[in-house]
Amino acid sequence: DMKVGSDDSVKVWLNGEVVHTNAVNRGAGDFQDTFQVDLKTGDNLLLVKVSERGGGWSMFAGVDADVNAVYKPATPGVAGKITGPWLWVIAATEANEGGANSTDVDSLAEASGGAVTED
């Protein structure tokens, strides 16, 4: 199982597939959502998007599995891929348009002018 907590809405991709969406306005409180994921042998690519409506921001993510996991950032320099260990996107939104209202907005495409997408 995978577990996430978020302030506010959350969307999770594993290996390029959406595995969880919760369009909600809430404060984070440890792990709030639990869902099934299938990890493949070898590398697994995880992307977690948290859309903030207002106030503080926080996120929790974890996998409850009997595996030996090692964090390894995405390989730098791969064409069309996000590089570096972390990508922070701060996209301006209209008042009251974050959180649940922006769960399905492609924030990566919006921030990069279409160079990188959530697809």
- CA–CA separation, 3 vs 33, rounded Å? 6
Domain span at 99: 2-112
What pTM does this model have? 0.68
Residue 117: what pLDDT?
Answer: 74
Helix/strand/coil (H, E, C) string of 14-82? ECCEEEEEECCCCCCCCCCEEECCCCCCCCCCEEEEEECCCCCCEEEEEECCCCCCCCCCECCCCCCCC
The answer on pLDDT for 30 being more than 90 is no
The answer to whether position 84 is within a domain reads yes
The answer on pLDDT for 88 being more than 90 is no
* Average pLDDT score over residue span 64-70: 69
Domains held by the chain: number: 1
Average pLDDT, the chain: 75
Three-state DSSP at 96 gives coil
In this structure, are residues 11 and 40 in contact, taking their beta carbons and an 8 Å threshold?
Answer: no
The answer on pLDDT for 51 being more than 60 is yes
The answer to whether position 86 is within a domain reads yes
